[in-house]
Amino acid sequence: MPVARQEVRGIDLDAQTRCAHYRSALDIVAIKMKCCGVYYACKDCHEALAGHAIEVWPQPEWTRRAVLCGACGYEMTVAQYLTCSSRCPACSAAFNPGCRRHFSFYFASAG
């Protein structure tokens, strides 16, 4: 069954959720923010557009589907994303391994 496309917000978004801040071939992940439940391409897009402070996902909620693969539209749980070795569990598209450095902006006590 085809996966429904989620709405993703961001600045200069392309079809695979790259944004004005992160535009490499591997920057295809969007993250649903805990604070508003909306997918954003990155935290900087959230800061520019949302008008409120970002809230990180506490570990007990890492079972929620909150990470979107921009290549196939698959929604993975936070826990899946944190253990996927920078590949989409559904389509094997490569994610940016450098994102690990930013996990703490999105997920409590990660990275």
- SS3 for 59-99 is HHHCCCEEEEECCCCCEEEHHHHHCCCCECCCCCCECCHHH
105 part of the interface to Zn ion, by CB under 5 A:
no
Among 66, 69, 76, 78, binds Zn ion (CB under 5 A): 69
Among 13, 36, 82, 108, binds Zn ion (CB under 5 A): 36
- Whether the CB-CB separation of 17 and 29 falls below 8 Å is answered with yes
Least Cβ distance, residue 109 to Zn ion (angstroms): 20
28 part of the interface to Zn ion, by CB under 5 A:
no
Which two tokens mark 28?
A: 């295809």
Among 41, 66, 76, 110, binds Zn ion (CB under 5 A): 41
Among 79, 88, 99, 110, binds Zn ion (CB under 5 A): 88
In three-state secondary structure terms, 5 is coil
DSSP lists the bridge partners of residue 87 as: 94
72 part of the interface to Zn ion, by CB under 5 A:
yes
> CB atoms < 10 A from the CB of 25, how many?
10
Give residues in contact with Zn ion (CB under 5 A).
19, 21, 33, 35-36, 41-42, 44-45, 50, 69, 71-72, 74, 88, 90-91, 93
